[in-house]
Amino acid sequence: MEIQIIKKEIVNVNNIAPITQVVARFEIMDGGPIKNETIPIRFFLKPYDITPTLNNVNNRFSVKYFISIVLSDVEDRKYFKHHEITLHRIEKVKKKKIENDVDNSNKNNNIINNENNQNTQNENKNEIKNEVIENEENNNNNNEGETKLDD
C-alpha cells in the first residue's frame, strides 16, 4: 500500500500543461490489508516544501494538491484512488508575536512601575524636606516674637 502527495501547478496562460510534482511518497504497509480493516495513517508535512492550496489567483494561477493511493490486494490486483485535498497554513508567527508583545508589555509595565515607584519615593522625600523646612520656619517665627529678660 502506497500513498503519494501530488502537487499540481496550473498556469492559465497560452494553454500550458499543468506542472505535476510528487511531493512525498509513503509506503504504508508491505502487502495488502485484510478485508474491512481500517488503517490509520499519519504523515508530517513540515519536512516538505508545501504551499497552501491556491485557486485561480487573478484567473491565471492555481496550486492544487492530491492524495494518490495505490492498494494491492492478496491476489496482486491494484486499486487506485486519486483525491483532491485542500491545505491551509496556520501562522504560528502571530502566536509567537502575541506572546512576545505580552512579554514586552509586561517588561514595559515593570519598568514603568519601577519608575513610578522611584518618582513616588522622590516625591515623598521632597514632601518630608518641605515639612522639615516649614517646621524650622515656624520655630524661627515663634522665637522672633519672644524676648529674653535679664535676670
Measured between alpha carbons, how far is residue 12 from residues 17, 19, 45, 60 in Å? 9, 12, 28, 5
- Pair (100, 120) in one structural domain: yes
**Interval 26-56: pLDDT, tens:** 888 876 677 788 888 888 888 888 888 888 8
Residue 113 lies in a domain: yes
More confident residue, 105 or 41: 41
- Pair (114, 54) in one structural domain: no
Measured between alpha carbons, how far is residue 30 from residues 10, 72, 74, 79, 133 in Å? 34, 9, 11, 15, 95
DSSP 75-117: T--EEEEEEEE------HHHHHHHHHHHHHHHHHHHHHHHHHH
Overall number of domains in the chain: 2
Band the pLDDT of 8: cuts 50, 70, 90. very high
More confident residue, 77 or 66: 66
Task: Give the closest residue to 6 by CA, choosing from 80, 61, 83.
Answer: 83
- Pair (8, 81) in one structural domain: yes
- Pair (20, 49) in one structural domain: yes
- For residue 25, the enclosing domain spans 2-89
- Pair (52, 118) in one structural domain: no
- Given this model, what pLDDT does residue 151 score? 41
> Which residues pair with residue 82 across a beta bridge?
68
Measured between alpha carbons, how far is residue 76 from residues 1, 33, 79 in Å? 11, 12, 10
Band the pLDDT of 13: cuts 50, 70, 90. confident
- Pair (18, 31) in one structural domain: yes
Task: Give the closest residue to 31 by CA, choosing from 71, 3, 67.
Answer: 71
- Pair (76, 136) in one structural domain: no
Residue 22 has pLDDT above 90, yes or no: yes
- Pair (106, 75) in one structural domain: no
- Pair (68, 114) in one structural domain: no
Residue 68 has pLDDT above 60, yes or no: yes
Q: What is the chain's mean pLDDT, rounded?
A: 75
- CB-based contact 36:8 (threshold 8 Å): no
Report if pTM > 0.85.
Answer: no
- pLDDT average, residue stretch 88-115: 62
Rounded Cα–Cα distance for residues 126 and 134 (Å): 12
